[in-house]
Structure 1
Amino acid sequence: MGRGMGERRRDGLADDGGQEARVELSMSAYVVLGLIARHGPMTPYELKARVEESVGFFWPIPHAQLYRDPPRLAELGLLREEAEEGGRRRRFFHLTPEGERALDAWLAAPEAPPADNRDPAQLRLAFADLGEPEDLVRLARSQAEQHREKVERYRRRRAALDPDGPGRARDHTLSLGILHEQAHAAFWETIAAAGDEDDDIPDLSPRDRWRDN
């Protein structure tokens, strides 16, 4: 299939008449490549189900993105599209040798981009001194409960792993998720306990000071 981009290379570059152009793929695109490599040809709808049962608990992907990525990857030569001739005329996407090489290169890379951990509760914590002390205690209790619930949810998912499936990779991701949620729960529990143990919670807010000035 003529793509006007030359032959795809293992390092993620396209060689076209002596000129190289890097193909930038999103993380969701690599998820698509990885799931098709693991489970075989799939429709976007099937990809959605696979995301939910695998990486969705720590890397959620909008459903619309899973319908956009496969055709784009097919245009790049990393997937091959096959449409049913009858029935629902579903569109199946197959991994190509170029897609396999791109996936291999991504997995072999020694570094990864910095994590994007945008936590709304942490953002509120940054401005907690502007609010009432009791507000922080309530937030801490709520956050501790949420993170403890996630710990239990991940433990149940890990216990239910199919030993004949890709269990080791999923066990690693769930174990990391458990440690991550345990750390967050312990932190917020410390904040909540500090408020519970102090009848006269220190005033964290400077607002009353400058309101009277």
Structure 2
Amino acid sequence: MAKDLTPPQLVVLGLIARHGPMTPYDLKAKVEASVGRYWPIPHAQLYRDPPRLAELGLLREEAEEHGRRRRVFHLTGAGHKALRDWLADPTTLEPETRNPALLKLTFADLGAPGQVAELAATQAAQHRRWRDTYQDLRTRLDPQAPDTAARTRLLTLGIAHEQSYVAFWEALAADPKGTGEARSEPGG
């Protein structure tokens, strides 16, 4: 069953397993605070997927009869099993990269001189901000929270990822006709 689920559906199962019953609105907030940086999910999908997962028996829906009539979704035993089966499989889909800066860099030779250096400087600054944000988030993690180890791993990877982008874009800004490979100092 887990192989038939989409990554956003698995995110829904994982978030409900970690945080307990949720409404689609709650899921939206949790996605933004967790996986949204590297796996954005359209809000509309977070309203469509829980009822589909309930139809599959992976979630149980509880609708309020009065007030806002919120739909609260609970993980079922089958949902736990599907999540565990997915986690037990060490294989993953191929990663996807949709980076507008890389798209622009692909065609940079068609633009005006100097644009590569401007793009590179702007990107280096953006990736420094993201790196610094991840470092700050890592220092503020609550050591008692149940997901601290997972969040620490992800933030550590994010910091290393952003630092590699910083190094690339800084090298390209310094030498726009070069490859973006950081030059090592003689003897270094």
TM-score by length of 1: 0.79
Alignment-mate amino acid for residue 69 of structure 2: R
Which residues in structure 2 correspond to 1:1-213 (within 5 Å)? 12=1, 24-165=4-145, 166-195=147-176
Q: Which secondary structure does the structure 2 equivalent of 1:133 belong to?
A: coil
Equivalent residues of 1:58, 1:177 under 8 A apart: no
For residue 87 of structure 1, report the CA deviation from its aligned partner. Answer: 2.0
Alignment-mate amino acid for residue 193 of structure 1: A
For residue 36 of structure 1, report the CA deviation from its aligned partner. Answer: 0.4
Q: Which secondary structure does the structure 2 equivalent of 1:77 belong to?
A: coil
Q: Count how many residue pairs are aligned between Structure 1 and Structure 2.
A: 177
Alignment-mate amino acid for residue 171 of structure 1: T
Percent identity between the aligned chains? 59
1:205 alignment partner in structure 2: none
For residue 69 of structure 1, report the CA deviation from its aligned partner. Answer: 0.8
> Normalized per residue, which structure has more helix?
2
Which stretches in structure 1 are left out of the alignment for 5+ residues?
1-11, 14-22, 196-200, 203-213
Which stretches in structure 2 are left out of the alignment for 5+ residues?
179-188
- Write the deviation string for residues 162-207 of structure 1: whole angstroms up to 9, x where unpaired: 2111100011111111111110111010000114xxxxx79xxxxx
Q: Which secondary structure does the structure 2 equivalent of 1:93 belong to?
A: strand
TM-score by length of 2: 0.89
- Write the deviation string for residues 48-81 of structure 1: whole angstroms up to 9, x where unpaired: 1111211122222111111111001001111000
Cα separation, 1, equivalents of 2:84 and 2:42: 25
- Write the deviation string for residues 101-154 of structure 1: whole angstroms up to 9, x where unpaired: 110111111111111012111122122222233010100001101100000111
Q: Which secondary structure does the structure 1 equivalent of 2:36 belong to?
A: coil
> Normalized per residue, which structure has more strand?
1
Cα separation, 1, equivalents of 2:76 and 2:170: 49
For residue 161 of structure 1, report the CA deviation from its aligned partner. Answer: 1.2
The structure that has the greater radius of gyration is 1
- Backbone CA RMSD of aligned residues: 1.5
Q: Which secondary structure does the structure 1 equivalent of 2:72 belong to?
A: strand
Equivalent residues of 1:147, 1:184 under 8 A apart: yes
Cα separation, 1, equivalents of 2:25 and 2:12: 12
